[in-house]
Amino acid sequence: MKYTKEQRLDIGRQIYDNELSRYEAAERYNISDQTARDYMRMYRDANQLPAKTPGRTSTINIKASQTTSNGIDDLENMSKEELIEEIIKARITEARLKKGYEVKGDGMVIRYVRKNTK
């Protein structure tokens, strides 16, 4: 599917701002993960932003509904143990997405994600 330049930049912004991983963007927009990475680079270059170094920063996947100030306040009010648990969950989810599957709910339902290849 072809996207306009504005749509590509928006997809790239979502990836750059950690709203989506490139694998999640690939699945959502029906593009390859390499194309999603290219969109992120296009956004970064268009806005003259610094390159992101993978693996150097840990991120917590925050759902779109939690991006309000209340969601951030919830994270700030968590104990150290709760934050560590959330980071572990986020890393497990990221690793599963990289391998091509996603676990829903309590882990009883596994949905295999078809990787886009071009």
Question: For the chain, how far is it from start to end, CA to CA, in angstroms?
Answer: 12
For 88-99, write each residue's pLDDT tens digit: 888 888 887 777
108 band by pLDDT with thresholds 50, 70 and 90: low
Contact 78, 85 (CB under 8 A): no
What whole-number distance in Å separates Cα of residue 46 and Cα of residue 58?
Answer: 25
Q: Where are the beta strands (DSSP E) in 1-108?
A: 101-104
Question: For position 71, what pLDDT does the model report?
Answer: 64
For 22-49, write each residue's pLDDT tens digit: 899 999 999 999 999 999 999 999 998 8
pLDDT higher than 70, residue 53? no
The torsion defined by the Cα of 57, 52, 67 and 85, in degrees rounded to 10, comes to -20
Q: At 13, which helix (H) or strand (E)?
A: helix 5-16
Strand, helix or coil at 66?
A: helix
Question: For position 111, what pLDDT does the model report?
Answer: 64
